[in-house]
Amino acid sequence: MSELKQAKSALISVFSKDGLEPIVKKLDELGITIYSTGGTEKFIKDLGINVIPVEDVTSYPSILGGRVKTLHPKVFGGILNRQDHDGDVKELEQYEIPQIDIVIVDLYPFEKTVASGAAEQDIIEKIDIGGISLIRAAAKNFKDVTCVSSVDDYQEFLDLLNEKEGRTSMTDRKRFATKAFNISSHYDSAIFNYFNQEGEVNSFKQSELSGKELRYGENPHQKGTFFGNFDEIFDKLHGKELSYNNLLDVDAAVNLMNEFKGDAPTFAILKHNNACGLAQRETIHQAYIDALAGDPVSAFGGILISNVEIDAKTAEEIHKLFCEVVIAPSFSEEALEILKGKKNRILLILKDVKLPESQVRTCLNGILVQDKDNKTDALSDLNQATDKKATEEELSDLIFASKICKHTKSNTIVLAKNKQLCASGTGQTSRVDALKQSIEKARSFNFDLKGAVMASDAFFPFPDCVEIAGNEGITAVIQPGGSIKDQLSIDYCNENNISMVMTGTRHFKH
């Protein structure tokens, strides 16, 4: 262990006083001189503990409505001086600058103020200047100074005080400095993103203060970590810890079901980020039964999601299936008791929250950022391209199939009938292969495709897909259109009594 350094003084200036009292009392017990400002100074005095106002050191009061309190050479000199540097030591004596060994600061709650919907002037006032400067100075000089930059670190620091009686090692101080620069960089990123909401500066900054280490990544030999606030979106009621693959599937499930928010009871079953079963019915029980019928084989070990409360009757059916995760806006008490019967089954309540508007992924030696595909095809978007017009029932199924298609890996074809997913071809290099895969799958689970509809995520460059579909009895097609050979597919549909609508919107998903 490196040589321990004894602290003799501390500067404390915090926004939140939560958890501060035991630290202040321990510092006082250890005979460590405390300097402070404003509300923190009053808090310490009210504890009956001696504290020296920063104004007594600087000979300047807090000015400009509190905007300037600690920004003074006697404060920053006390923090930034090198204690083994003769010139620095002499200047401290010359200018009567006190040595500061510990800095405890937390920042104005900028992100919380933005999230509250506050007026811009209130938000601007929550851009911390003195606090962020103190943190950077103390962390830079970790060789001599311990920087505590967050309420979340108070307990660790208190434990250190109790264990080492005010002494710290270089390792201790560097660890706290690392935490401090994590805080400061996150804070600056949040401020930049607030100012750059219109994207005028073409720069990407995303910051998460902490991550949750997962059991492993996509495979056991890969390390995995989740960075994000899972609890902001879900209440986890039961089950084991979510894995890397669980989280990817849950993300896919939530984004898919968001298409059916506020609709009639809808149930989906996903595997490897794709829906293998989905149905919309008058009751969630029947929706689950019909979703499972779409592919009861792939449903094993799948991710289940409902757009309405799961009741006991539905839970009894779900309980018969081995599944990893069940997601719903709520569960009845009876349903919860049933589903908790499997100790590892993960049960999540999906909160009513706004999902991110952009998507980020690594690419080569950088990243790709894009707007999320928030375009959902609607009846008003449809252009009837064929002589035969789709019936109301077909139009309803076409929109239903399009929503699923949008959330299925490209190239994809989705076949649906009576608000039920019959089958899909996912992630194929050929659209014809995607169609053939979906037809074969539908047949294997005894679906009658006569009167079914077909959705494609991109246009048909040739009429082969509509010909294959027509031979299976499919009567209506939805696709973006836009091929220079669109007319070939239109002509085939006209000749074979198939209706086709075009949306003008491609939905690739790679």
Joined tokens for residue 495: 């000749």
* pLDDT tens digits, one per residue of 448-472: 999 999 999 999 999 999 999 999 9
Q: Is the pLDDT of residue 428 over 80?
A: yes
Give the global pTM: 0.88
Q: Is 272 annotated in the active site?
A: yes
Compute how many other C-beta atoms are within 10 angstroms of the C-beta atom of residue 355. Answer: 11
Query: Which among 8, 126, 140, 205 is annotated as catalytic?
Result: 140
Query: Which among 205, 272, 340, 388 is annotated as catalytic?
Result: 272
Report the share of the chain in percent with pLDDT over 90: 87
Dihedral, CA atoms, 273, 277, 278, 284, nearest 10 degrees? -120
Q: How far apart (Å, rounded) are the C-alpha atoms in residues 397 and 134?
A: 61
Sketch out the chain's domains with CATH numbers.
4-196 (3.40.50.1380), 231-350 (3.40.140.20), 379-502 (3.40.140.20)
pLDDT band at residue 92, thresholds of 50, 70 and 90? confident
> In terms of DSSP bridges, do strands 52-53 and 476-479 run parallel, antiparallel, or are they unpaired?
unpaired
44-48: long-range pairs with CB below 8 Å, 24+: 44/12, 47/21
Element holding 275 (H helix, E strand)? strand 274-280
Mean of all residue pLDDT scores within the chain: 94
pLDDT band at residue 58, thresholds of 50, 70 and 90? confident
pLDDT of residue 2: 57
- Asked if 412 and 432 count as a contact pair (C-beta separation under 8 A), the reply is no
pLDDT band at residue 69, thresholds of 50, 70 and 90? confident
